[in-house]
Amino acid sequence: MRNPFTHKKLEEVKDSAADFGHADKMEARFAKGDLETEETGFSFHRLKPNKRQPFGHSHEDAEEVYVIVRGHGLLKLDDEIIEVERLDAIRVSPEVTRAFEAGDDGLEVIAFGPRKDGDGSLDHEFWTD
């Protein structure tokens, strides 16, 4: 039987960014397994000061919401760049390619949306200027 709830400290979730050689720029903690979610995708991202995510990404079906929990910076959405700061919430349609850039104090972001394994593509050339 599934647990009626799951409690986890996000900093205890494995940092996947380190596995892909991005520890100098960011942390990426994908918590759906640790939280035992069945339908909700959930992740925590921490960008170091003045660093940018090394790729953009989009989805086929999964709409996402991002909540800025600390810091400020920029979010590139296809060809548009917006400023983001603490407690901003941004909904992004699946097909929009997106990536964050941290300001001087770094940036911490929580992302959530429907859990759809394999629904995503990366663009390593998305934000290269």
Using left for φ > 0, alpha for ψ between -120 and 50, and beta otherwise, residue 111 falls in beta
Mean predicted confidence (pLDDT) in 54-65: 93
Name 59's Cβ contacts closer than 8 Å, sequence gap at least 6.
94, 95, 116, 119, 120, 121
Q: Are strands 56-58 and 89-92 parallel, antiparallel or unpaired?
A: unpaired
Give residue 1's pLDDT.
57
Percent pLDDT > 90 in the chain is: 79
Q: Are 69 and 127 in contact (CB under 8 A)?
A: no
Q: Which amino acid is present at 117? A: D
Query: In which band, very low, low, confident or very high, does the pLDDT at 120 lie, cut at 50, 70 and 90?
Result: confident
pTM, 2 dp: 0.92
Say how far apart CA 47 and CA 61 lie, in whole Å: 26
CATH class, 15-123 region: mainly beta
